[in-house]
Structures are given as C-alpha cells and as structure tokens.
C-alpha cells in the first residue's frame, strides 16, 4: 500500500470570491522529491501556506501522514516560504539556537548537527546579514531542519542564486532525501534545475492541477525518436518491422522516423546497409521533457 506524506482533496482558497487555488487534489508519496511547478501567480505559494497552516482553506481537505489531525502532522514538517525567516544580526548558530528554543528542544546537539548538514559549521560569528544569498538559503533550510522533520517544503529555494548556489542547494536536497529519508516538496518555475532532482511532478495552472506524473510516466509520454533518410523507405520499413519488431513509424518521402528501439540505432543502421539500403543520414531526436512541462504550465492538459 502506498504511503502518502501529503494528500489534498478539492483544496480551494478564495479571495474576494476569486479562487486563487481551485479544487486542488495532489498526493505526495513518502520519499519523493515532488516538483510543484507553475508560472508565477499560479497558486503554488498559497497552496503551501494552506498545507503549512499559515492560511485556512475556503474548502477542501488536507491530510498529513495519512491523518487529518493537522496539528500533529505539522510537527513533522519543516518549511521555507517566500523570504527565509532569518535574524540578520545573529550568527548562523544563534539563529539555530533561537529556533531550537522556540520548538522546546532540549538537546543542544541539534544545532551542530543541522549546521553540519547544510555546510555552515565553519562560519563562526559572522552575522547572517553578511551571508551570500546561497548561504542564507542554506541557513533557512537548517532552521527548517530543527526538530528532524520528515517532510520538507521549500518554496522557490533557488530564486536569485548564482550557478554555484543553485548546485549547492540541489546537492543538499538530494543528500537530505538519500541520507535522512526526508520527503521534499519543492516549488519552482525554474524547470531545468528542478528536473535534475524531482522524482515526480505536479503542474499547476490558474490554481488548478493540470497533471501529476512520475519521472517514469513522463519518459513514457515524451519518448526519443530516430530519423533515417534512406533510398528505399519501403524496404527499410519491412526490415524495421520484421527484424526489429518496430511498428511505431512515420514515413514521409525518403525519411522514416521511429519511436521504438531508438537505443538500437547502430544495429539498425548496420542491418540496413547489409541489405543494400543507402542511408543518407541518421539522427536522434531527443525527448524534450522540459518543453512538454512548459506546455502544460502555459496551455494546460489537452
């Protein structure tokens, strides 16, 4: 049985009768890195605020860790929403200590532990106001980790970061999921980076979920293709079918495009040549997952 860390059903938030989030239903499995993607204003942050308890839904329901007891469930989550809650005139250690005390955690070792996890053990007494943006984001994640959450919610954590800062945050998220088993919801509109770590996606447009799919499902939808330009397309078609069992083909003029067995292009090419078929060119058309997701963000599901 699939264990869900988060499940929302018909979650709706209205402001002045306008639905900012509209009947949103999502499921996040334990251990996933859930890429919550949509354009600015799509409803990502409002959804996260409802999950975290910072604003109340107009209607719909939220379950955390299989329970509707949100007060207990929210004790197991850590969040970063919009601007990180950092005290600028305090050091990284002092910021963590404040959070530890506020949460009533007596074990002072947690401070060293979370600073080590995010790579801020050696910043000493340097005030947070002098941190780079990347360091501030890592400190914010450290604050969110106080209390050993099982579910981490990060709202646009790489916005404004330089390439090194983005890489640091990306590696940190992967480390948290792999080593600590933390489930992560990460909202972003920077698809290129998100696609390097996400295990599944929820695409939101105008407050509605357009589609939810795993990385595996995405690969099935957006498959790579190979295109052969040959002197005898009908003879080539027969070889594709009879020798390689390929039926997913498109033929126009002298070119044939296949959607199966693309990984066998070298073998196919060799076989065609052995059967006296002249090949003018062969090219692989890469699957463009990013383009597909952008289309969903902009146009919705067909």
Per-residue burial over 64-73, b if 16 or more Cβ lie within 10 Å, else e, is bbeeeebeeb
Say if residues 77 and 30 touch (Cβ distance below 8 Å): no
How high does pLDDT run on average in the chain? 89
Q: Cα–Cα distance between 226 and 263 in angstroms, integer?
A: 9
Residue with tokens 């489930």: 183
As given in the structure block, the two tokens for residue 19 are 């639905």
Question: Above 80 in pLDDT, residue 259?
Answer: no
Which are the contacts of 3, defined by CB distance < 8 A and separation ≥ 6? 29, 30, 66
The whole-number pLDDT of residue 194 equals 87
Summarised one tens digit per residue, pLDDT across range 120-168 is 988 888 999 999 888 998 999 999 999 889 999 999 888 888 888 888 8
Instruction: Tell me which long-range contacts 243-252 makes (C-beta under 8 A, separation of at least 24).
Output: 243/271, 244/268, 244/271
The whole-number pLDDT of residue 202 equals 94
The whole-number pLDDT of residue 276 equals 92
Please report, rounded to a whole number, the percentage of residues in the chain having pLDDT higher than 90: 51
Say if residues 209 and 60 touch (Cβ distance below 8 Å): no
Q: pTM of the full predicted structure?
A: 0.80
* Phi, psi dihedral angles at 48 (to 5 degrees): -65, -40
The more confident residue out of 119 and 219 is 119
Summarised one tens digit per residue, pLDDT across range 221-252 is 777 788 889 999 899 989 989 988 888 888 88
Q: Cα–Cα distance between 101 and 119 in angstroms, integer?
A: 22
């Amino acid at each position: 049985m699939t264990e869900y860390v988060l499940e929302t059903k018909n979650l709706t938030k209205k402001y002045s009768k306008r639905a900012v989030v509209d009947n949103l239903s999502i499921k996040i499995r334990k251990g996933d890195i859930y890429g919550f993607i949509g354009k600015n204003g799509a409803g990502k942050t409002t959804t996260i605020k409802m999950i975290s308890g910072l604003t109340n839904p107009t209607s719909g329901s939220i379950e955390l860790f299989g329970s509707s007891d949100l007060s207990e469930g929210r004790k197991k989550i850590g969040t970063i929403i919009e601007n990180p809650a950092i005290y600028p005139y305090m050091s990284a250690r002092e910021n963590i200590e404040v959070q530890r005390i506020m949460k009533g955690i007596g074990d002072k070792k947690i401070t060293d532990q979370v600073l080590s996890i995010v790579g801020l053990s050696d910043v000493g007494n340097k005030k947070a106001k002098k941190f780079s943006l990347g360091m501030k984001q890592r400190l914010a994640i450290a604050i969110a980790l106080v209390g050993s959450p099982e579910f981490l919610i990060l709202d646009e954590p790489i916005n404004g970061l330089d390439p090194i800062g983005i890489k640091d945050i990306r590696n940190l998220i992967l480390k948290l999921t792999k080593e600590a088993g933390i489930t992560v919801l990460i909202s972003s509109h920077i698809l290129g980076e998100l696609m390097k770590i996400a295990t599944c996606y929820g695409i939101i447009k105008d407050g509605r979920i357009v589609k939810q799919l795993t990385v595996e499902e995405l690969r099935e939808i957006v498959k790579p293709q190979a295109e052969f330009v040959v002197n005898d397309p009908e003879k080539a078609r027969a070889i594709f079918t009879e020798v390689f069992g390929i039926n997913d083909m498109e033929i126009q003029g002298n070119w044939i495009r296949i959607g199966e067995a693309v990984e066998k292009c070298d073998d196919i090419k060799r076989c065609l040549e052995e059967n006296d078929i002249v090949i003018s060119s062969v090219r692989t058309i890469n699957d463009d997952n990013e383009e597909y997701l952008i289309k969903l963000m902009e146009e919705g599901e067909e």
